[in-house]
Amino acid sequence: MATQLTTHQTGADSAIERLPRVFSGIQPSGNFHLGNYLGAIRNWVKQQDLYANTFCIVDLHALSLATTREGLQENIRNLATIIVASGIDPEHCTLFVQSDVAEHSELCWILQSVTQFGELRRMTQFKDKSGGQDESVSSALFTYPVLQAADILLHDAELVPVGEDQKQHIELTRDVAHRFNQRYGETLVLPRPDIKEEGARIMALDDPTKKMSKSSPNPNSYVALGDTPDIIRRKIKRAVTDSGSEIVVDPDKPALSNLISIYAILTEQTPAEVQEAFVGKGYGAFKSDLGDVIVAAIEPIQRRLAELDASPEIIEEVLRSGAVKARDYARGTMIRVRDRVGLGGF
Ligand code: TYM
């Protein structure tokens, strides 16, 4: 059987010069926010010409928390539209929906056999999301990081551009891939996280000790991509700040530092430069400018969103052709994996 395998299927690297492979994913769980944009998608867009990119709307992951059929369908469509409106070029990147490629679930099961229970118990996201209720949450929430490992390893990703909160999951992916390779021989590529210094951890506007999150019950804690300019400006005005009045980056002023960091990324400055520009000006002037900066960044995306929403067949075609490309690649990896493990084949 192995004699018929192609280079991709055998895992041997081609001599032809090629771009490094990138994979990243995002859950269709509603309320796409500024943290998702600054921590992930903005970087995907900025770097898309440097890599061979695969981006995935991870609908199977979204099932780990309760969903409805209509809600999930709407979220998948909206998220795909947001990703394209944000600047991902479907001609250059593969964009697809996870459940359209059954190999993700298959590899997840195989990887569960080399993942330790204790490793999953140590995942901080499980502890956060289960809220200590581990008797009643779905077991999918517990095994979620194995599916994430399968996503990455199936596409031979070398780099995974994500926010800080995903670092532990990428480290687990490396450990699982390493263990698999030790048991079955070199098969899977060990990925590295690509986490930028700026924007990797955008904090909630109402509480700088918590990250900005899609699942927050308080809509004032995040700027959603669909917020109108008025709402954005109001949310920034209401954002908590620390005591004092000067615009300074200071670890003892986490709320202000978070806002400065958002301002700095969107205006392509360093936080020190932002601090310099606001010497002698108070919180009021800073927040008013920050509101304008966010609105200016989001408005062109919203305009493209409206155009794409008017022609839904564009996104449908992007996802259909993305699934064909992703399935094709995944099939090759699974031929290699099944062969190494000794599954089926008769
Ligand atoms: P998700 O859907 O929660 O978030 C998508 C991306 O947004 C980043 N992010 C943030 N960055 C900065 N500040 C924040 N407050 C913030 N909140 C979210 C996340 O780090 C992420 O990059 N498990 C993943 C989805 C996933 C995945 C994958 C990612 C599934 N398979 C394979 C990479 C590779 C998740 O729930 O992301």
> Per mean pLDDT, which range of 5-9, 159-163, 267-271 is the poorest?
5-9
- Alpha carbons 159 and 145: distance in angstroms, whole number: 17
Closest C-alpha to ligand 1, atom 7: 36
* Statement to judge: residues 250 and 336 lie in one domain: no
The per-residue pLDDT for range 287-301, each reduced to its tens digit, is 999 999 999 999 999
Is 187 part of any domain? Answer: yes
Confidence of residue 214 (pLDDT cuts 50, 70, 90): confident
Regarding the beta carbon of 28 and ligand 1, being less than 6 Å apart is answered no
* Statement to judge: residues 154 and 233 lie in one domain: no
* pLDDT for the residue 3: 42
In this prediction, what percent of the chain has a pLDDT beyond 70?
95
Regarding the beta carbon of 195 and ligand 1, being less than 6 Å apart is answered no
- Alpha carbons 137 and 262: distance in angstroms, whole number: 34
Regarding the beta carbon of 166 and ligand 1, being less than 6 Å apart is answered yes
Regarding the beta carbon of 225 and ligand 1, being less than 6 Å apart is answered no
* pLDDT for the residue 236: 98
pTM listed for this prediction: 0.94
* Statement to judge: residues 283 and 298 lie in one domain: yes
The per-residue pLDDT for range 26-82, each reduced to its tens digit, is 999 988 999 999 999 999 999 999 999 999 999 999 999 989 999 999 999 999 999
Its domain, for residue 111, covers 21-200+312-341
Regarding the beta carbon of 152 and ligand 1, being less than 6 Å apart is answered yes
Identify which of 21, 23, 24, 26 to mutate to test ligand 1's pocket (most ligand atoms within 8 A of the CB). Answer: 26
* pLDDT for the residue 11: 57
Is 279 part of any domain? Answer: yes
The per-residue pLDDT for range 301-325, each reduced to its tens digit, is 999 999 999 999 999 999 999 999 9
CB 41 within 8 A of CB 86: yes
* pLDDT for the residue 5: 60
Atom of ligand 1 minimally distant from the CA of 199:
12
Regarding the beta carbon of 26 and ligand 1, being less than 6 Å apart is answered yes
Residue type for position 78: N
Number of domains in the chain: 2
How far CA 129 is from CA of 111, 141, 287, in Å, comes to: 22, 8, 32
* pLDDT for the residue 272: 95
* Statement to judge: residues 39 and 181 lie in one domain: yes
pLDDT score of 4 more than 70: no
For residue 227, what is the domain's CATH number? 1.10.240.10
Q: Ligand 1 center to residue 277 CA distance, Å?
A: 32
* Statement to judge: residues 175 and 251 lie in one domain: no
* pLDDT for the residue 7: 61
* Statement to judge: residues 163 and 284 lie in one domain: no
Atom of ligand 1 minimally distant from the CA of 144:
23
Is 206 part of any domain? Answer: no
Closest C-alpha to ligand 1, atom 16: 35
Atom of ligand 1 minimally distant from the CA of 202:
13
- Alpha carbons 249 and 106: distance in angstroms, whole number: 47
For residue 151, what is the domain's CATH number? 3.40.50.620
pLDDT score of 137 more than 60: yes
Regarding the beta carbon of 318 and ligand 1, being less than 6 Å apart is answered no
The per-residue pLDDT for range 83-97, each reduced to its tens digit, is 999 999 999 999 999
Is 214 part of any domain? Answer: no
* Statement to judge: residues 155 and 270 lie in one domain: no
* Statement to judge: residues 178 and 279 lie in one domain: no
Length of the chain: 346
Is 278 part of any domain? Answer: yes
* pLDDT for the residue 63: 96
Atom of ligand 1 minimally distant from the CA of 162:
22
List of E strands, 27-83: 52-57
Regarding the beta carbon of 61 and ligand 1, being less than 6 Å apart is answered yes
* Statement to judge: residues 30 and 116 lie in one domain: yes
* pLDDT for the residue 133: 80
State mean pLDDT over 196-217: 93
Residue type for position 315: I
What's the CA dihedral at 9, 12, 17, 20 to 10 degrees?
Answer: 70
Identify which of 24, 36, 101 to mutate to test ligand 1's pocket (most ligand atoms within 8 A of the CB). Answer: 36
- Alpha carbons 257 and 208: distance in angstroms, whole number: 9
Q: Ligand 1 center to residue 79 CA distance, Å?
A: 13
Confidence of residue 15 (pLDDT cuts 50, 70, 90): very low
* Statement to judge: residues 149 and 281 lie in one domain: no
Hey, which residues are catalytic here? 129, 211, 214
Backbone φ and ψ of 51, nearest 5°: -130, 165
* pLDDT for the residue 13: 53
Is 134 part of any domain? Answer: yes
* Statement to judge: residues 143 and 244 lie in one domain: no
* pLDDT for the residue 2: 42
Q: Ligand 1 center to residue 163 CA distance, Å?
A: 6
pLDDT score of 330 more than 80: yes
* Statement to judge: residues 175 and 248 lie in one domain: no
- What rounded mean pLDDT belongs to the chain? 94
Residue 23: is it exposed, middle or buried by C-beta count within 10 angstroms (0-12/13-18/19+)?
buried
